[in-house]
Amino acid sequence: MTRLSFMTRLSFLPLLLAAVLSACQSGGSAVPAESLAALDTATIMRHIRVLAADSLMGRAPGTAGEDKTVAYLESEFKAIGLKPGNTDGTWIQKVPLVGITVKGAPALTFAKGSARKSLKWRDDYVAWTKHVAPTAALDKSELVFVGYGTEAPEFTWDDFKGLDATGKTLVMLVNDPPLADTSQFGGKRMTYYGRWTYKYEQGMRHKAAGVLLVHETGPAGYPFAVVQGKTSEQFDLVTPDKNMGRSSVEGWITAEQAKALFAMAGQDFDALKASAATREFKPVPLGVTASVRLENTLRTIDSRNVLAKLEGSDAALKDEYVIYTAHWDHFGIGEKVKGDSIYNGAEDNASGTAGLLAMARAFAAAKSPPRRSILFLSVTAEEQGLLGSQYYAVTPVYPLAKTLANINMDGLNTWGPTKDLTVIGLGASELDDFATAAAAEQGRVLRPDAEPEKGFYYRSDHFNFAKLGVPAFDPEAGVDYVGKPAGFGMQKRDEYTANDYHKPQDEIKPGWELSGAVQDLTLLFTMGYRVANAEKLPAWRSGNEFRAVREKQLQATSRP
């Protein structure tokens, strides 16, 4: 199909300039047919077979499985004809990790005057430290209830009201304040202010000694059993300050223990919780102290992100990037389930990694590369808390202000073509316009996340880019399968969650059909290619919590 050129449209339709500009930004322009032809099911399956094989031992960071995985990625990127992605001429970005395990089962003690209350490890509370140090403690640290612990200037919301939290232990609720006015915060969608990681970061920003979150299953989105999983080894990045800027102790207490604590303080939990859902809320010192001493076992691991790049064709723009990501890691060899101990992670994320390699091959096949450069970034330690992508985002090889977008692949569709594509966080940025256009050209539509209240947008690698301002796109398989009965997609999804997710049973399944993956990759290629050729950078939508960060970042950088 022939399309009118940009200039022809401009000369004939000057009044529609704005509309045309926006159409040319996000859709309409041709993508190289030779690239799309290079996306095929056989290539993707070949990569999945290698990456999910038992010989790669579940691809755990810091193991021989990592060595084999990284070697495979390097050799494939090289064979595709890409350049090493790091500026030092290598394919590697080293990622220093530390595993911290709390020894024994320390008690957390609340005290008020002569009254004492001792919380039992794991049953009543869990805690950890990110300090790379043999011990971390709270020593009679004053407890202060800070509601949702949120400071959101765009919603004129401030739970701290000038509180000096230095050395104190902050007690916080999870999720966003539940407001009747759904135009505030995300409505049904959880914003980043609601996510537990944000709450601990607030503790750090306010120099608090500790942060204890009150676990309530509804607002958290998962039961306390999930939180109890944090009593095993926790991984983190080793920052130059060995994470000493973080609060000493981070943790969760059960709702039951929170109620008992508030009663001890002479306060009513439900009443204070209700007042926390108002702008007038002020921090409430509880008059109770917290003490706990964590003794840690430390283990350091040097892991690796693998990077490859395709240089842009425009000399003035080739130092700007679109980044495709997929995490290569999984859980390695672990606890036996149904007689199998190798966590192959075929879907999670051998498939996405295969998609990344296929995407690289498609871009390399283009007779004319896009104007800007494309970085293919295979990150480590996603399963330990999105650590490889976090490391890239805080230590970027190319400036984030010159990074237009991140497109993430975490699990490909393995069950055939769909009429839709699920987009986690649909509505977040102008990347949606590119995706909508590319989907429409396939006769498909975008579908929002079915459970926006659970904050899935904050749970994969793209989020580390979003948090630092870069518009980030997180697609998932559609649910409306061509030629399949209604409910087929959800059934496959539920089966995966119940039987395979994070288990050794996540293996290549007999019925896998990758034509749907090719369809999705075609869409993601089309998006990325057009973003890399666009006249302007894609932006966050107004009201999005990352928009201010991006605007500040772009202002700080003089662009040509």
In the complex, minimum distance from the CB of residue 490 to Zn ion, in angstroms, rounded to a whole number: 19
In the complex, minimum distance from the CB of residue 384 to Zn ion, in angstroms, rounded to a whole number: 11
Of 4-12, 17-25, 405-413, 528-536, the window that binds Zn ion (rule: CB under 5 A) is 405-413
Considering beta carbons, is residue 250 or 461 the nearer one to Zn ion? 461
Considering beta carbons, is residue 124 or 348 the nearer one to Zn ion? 348
> Could you tell me the CA-to-CA distances from 226 to 212, 417, 439, 483 in Å, in that order?
16, 34, 36, 37
Of 83-91, 116-124, 402-410, 511-519, the window that binds Zn ion (rule: CB under 5 A) is 402-410
Measured CA to CA, the distance from residue 235 to residue 13 in angstroms comes to 57
In the complex, minimum distance from the CB of residue 383 to Zn ion, in angstroms, rounded to a whole number: 7
Considering beta carbons, is residue 187 or 385 the nearer one to Zn ion? 385
Measured CA to CA, the distance from residue 243 to residue 484 in angstroms comes to 50
Q: How many residues bind Zn ion (CB under 5 A)?
A: 3
Which of 419, 408, 429 shows the shortest CA–CA distance to 521? 408
Of 35-43, 102-110, 230-238, 345-353, the window that binds Zn ion (rule: CB under 5 A) is 345-353
Considering beta carbons, is residue 110 or 456 the nearer one to Zn ion? 456
Which of 471, 478, 498 shows the shortest CA–CA distance to 411? 478
Of 33-41, 104-112, 343-351, 510-518, the window that binds Zn ion (rule: CB under 5 A) is 343-351
- Tell me, letter by letter, the H, E, C secondary structure of 389-406: HHHHHHCCCCCHHHEEEE
Secondary structure (DSSP) of 190-248: --GGGSHHHHHHHHHHTT-SEEEEEE-HHHHSS-HHHHHGGGS-EEEE--TTTTTTS-S
In the complex, minimum distance from the CB of residue 87 to Zn ion, in angstroms, rounded to a whole number: 28
In the complex, minimum distance from the CB of residue 477 to Zn ion, in angstroms, rounded to a whole number: 13
Q: Which residues contact 199 (CB under 8 A, 6 or more apart)?
A: 149, 172, 174, 211, 213
Measured CA to CA, the distance from residue 356 to residue 446 in angstroms comes to 21
325 binds Zn ion (CB under 5 A): no
349 binds Zn ion (CB under 5 A): yes
Considering beta carbons, is residue 27 or 411 the nearer one to Zn ion? 411
Which of 351, 352, 374, 372 shows the shortest CA–CA distance to 363? 374
66 binds Zn ion (CB under 5 A): no
- Cβ atoms within 10 A of the Cβ of 282, count? 15
In the complex, minimum distance from the CB of residue 375 to Zn ion, in angstroms, rounded to a whole number: 19
CA atoms within 13 A on the CB side of 175: 22
Measured CA to CA, the distance from residue 539 to residue 536 in angstroms comes to 9
Decide: residue 498, CB within 10 A, 0-12 exposed, 13-18 middle, 19+ buried.
Answer: exposed
Of 293-301, 406-414, 480-488, 540-548, the window that binds Zn ion (rule: CB under 5 A) is 406-414
Considering beta carbons, is residue 176 or 449 the nearer one to Zn ion? 449
Of 11-19, 183-191, 215-223, 403-411, the window that binds Zn ion (rule: CB under 5 A) is 403-411
Of 118-126, 260-268, 349-357, 478-486, the window that binds Zn ion (rule: CB under 5 A) is 349-357
348 binds Zn ion (CB under 5 A): yes
In the complex, minimum distance from the CB of residue 382 to Zn ion, in angstroms, rounded to a whole number: 5
In the complex, minimum distance from the CB of residue 519 to Zn ion, in angstroms, rounded to a whole number: 20
119-148 residues near Zn ion, rule: CB under 5 A: none
In the complex, minimum distance from the CB of residue 31 to Zn ion, in angstroms, rounded to a whole number: 27
Which of 359, 411, 429 shows the shortest CA–CA distance to 421? 411
**Three-state DSSP state, 83:** strand
Of 170-178, 386-394, 404-412, 447-455, the window that binds Zn ion (rule: CB under 5 A) is 404-412
In the complex, minimum distance from the CB of residue 349 to Zn ion, in angstroms, rounded to a whole number: 4
Considering beta carbons, is residue 291 or 413 the nearer one to Zn ion? 413
Q: Which residues contact 281 (CB under 8 A, 6 or more apart)?
A: 147, 159, 275
Considering beta carbons, is residue 348 or 545 the nearer one to Zn ion? 348
347 binds Zn ion (CB under 5 A): no
Considering beta carbons, is residue 251 or 332 the nearer one to Zn ion? 332
β-pairing verdict for 234-237 and 83-84: unpaired
159-218 residues near Zn ion, rule: CB under 5 A: none
Considering beta carbons, is residue 147 or 352 the nearer one to Zn ion? 352
Q: Which residues contact 61 (CB under 8 A, 6 or more apart)?
A: 97, 235, 301, 303, 329, 380, 381, 384
Kindly state the tokens that stand for 319. 């130092």
Which of 554, 541, 557 shows the shortest CA–CA distance to 191? 541
410 binds Zn ion (CB under 5 A): yes
Which of 446, 411, 402 shows the shortest CA–CA distance to 428? 446
| Contact yes or no for 233/127 (Cβ under 8 A) | no
In the complex, minimum distance from the CB of residue 390 to Zn ion, in angstroms, rounded to a whole number: 15
| Contact yes or no for 470/405 (Cβ under 8 A) | yes
Considering beta carbons, is residue 73 or 214 the nearer one to Zn ion? 73
In the complex, minimum distance from the CB of residue 505 to Zn ion, in angstroms, rounded to a whole number: 15
In the complex, minimum distance from the CB of residue 413 to Zn ion, in angstroms, rounded to a whole number: 14
Decide: residue 22, CB within 10 A, 0-12 exposed, 13-18 middle, 19+ buried.
Answer: middle
Considering beta carbons, is residue 320 or 410 the nearer one to Zn ion? 410
| Contact yes or no for 371/314 (Cβ under 8 A) | yes
Considering beta carbons, is residue 224 or 458 the nearer one to Zn ion? 458
Of 55-63, 278-286, 342-350, 361-369, the window that binds Zn ion (rule: CB under 5 A) is 342-350
Which stretches of the chain bind Zn ion, using CB under 5 A? 348-349, 410
